[in-house]
Amino acid sequence: MRGADIRSSAAVEERHWWYRERRALLARELRRLRNDPPQRQAIEIGAAGGGNCLVMRDFGYRVLATEQLPEGVEIARARGLDAIRADARDLPVESGGHDLLVAFDVLEHIAEDDLAAAEIHRVLRPGGTALIAVPADMRLWSSFDDLSGHVRRYDRAGLRALIEGAGLRVDALWSWNVLLRPAVALRRTATARPSETALRHDVTAVPPLLNTLLGAVVRLERHLPTGGLPGVSLFLRAHKPF
């Protein structure tokens, strides 16, 4: 993600169907963790402008947003968040100090994703939870991935092996954006060489009616058993053993 992409995303994430539903998924997982101790510490890797951190803050977490690009840190701080520039492979935070770590659409950008996974393990306290999201399935690879700076897309076995190899225990692994996968695959096949402007346009310029329709479709997955089917993204919940 580029600085301009972070600014574009931050400007629309409150209303854009994809960001709204992803925040809803995060909120669902945070409700599952309600029994965590008070004064809970959370950290997000690759926080962009801090939209997910705002959700965590609303749930009572003391949140640190980490982002490699200065534009993201600037936006997050303007939103009242504690934010620092950081490399996911070498986080400038203490070991074992966080109850929750969130890394949404980060690992696919990092060639040495094993180093990032090791850092996830290091900064979590024993019993702490990691929530991770990545793009799924190399069969969906397109020039959109190239422009987005992706190194890979993940399958279930590869993501599980990465996280377990870092010493975490996987509690749940499921697909998201399953119902819209055929449309995503068709669009990426039809758009052979999108420009950077076209890539940003996908996020910022969804017409209101289409935005409502796409949001309604993806919300259906809250009520359907689609998590075991192929999707556009993978979500994973894991914990650091005691």
**Candidates 3.60.9.10, 3.30.360.10, 3.40.50.150, 3.40.50.300; CATH matching 3-239:** 3.40.50.150
- Mean pLDDT confidence for 70-97: 97
CA atoms within 13 A on the CB side of 30: 22
* R_g over Cα of the chain: 17
Amino acid at site 112:
E
Of the listed ranges 29-33, 130-134, 201-205, 221-225, the one predicted with least confidence: 201-205
Instruction: Provide the pLDDT for residue 210.
Output: 96
- Mean pLDDT confidence for 72-81: 97
Contact 114, 161 (CB under 8 A): no
d(CA 209, CA 95): 46
Q: What percent of the chain has pLDDT over 70?
A: 91
**In the structure, what pLDDT confidence band is assigned to residue 227 with cuts at 50, 70 and 90?**
very high
Q: What percent of the chain has pLDDT over 90?
A: 82
Give phi and psi for 233, each to the nearest 5: -130, 160
Instruction: Provide the pLDDT for residue 10.
Output: 85
Two tokens at 75? Answer: 């936006």
Q: What is the pLDDT of residues 84-143, one digit of tens each?
A: 999 999 999 999 999 999 999 999 999 999 999 999 999 999 999 999 999 999 999 999
Two tokens at 166? Answer: 């870092």
- Mean pLDDT confidence for 60-73: 96
Instruction: Provide the pLDDT for residue 94.
Output: 97
- Mean pLDDT confidence for 200-208: 70
Instruction: Provide the pLDDT for residue 192.
Output: 55
Contact 62, 100 (CB under 8 A): no
CA atoms within 13 A on the CB side of 79: 26
Average pLDDT, the chain: 92
Instruction: Provide the pLDDT for residue 5.
Output: 80
Instruction: Provide the pLDDT for residue 11.
Output: 85
Strand partners, 63: 42
Q: Whole-model pTM?
A: 0.93
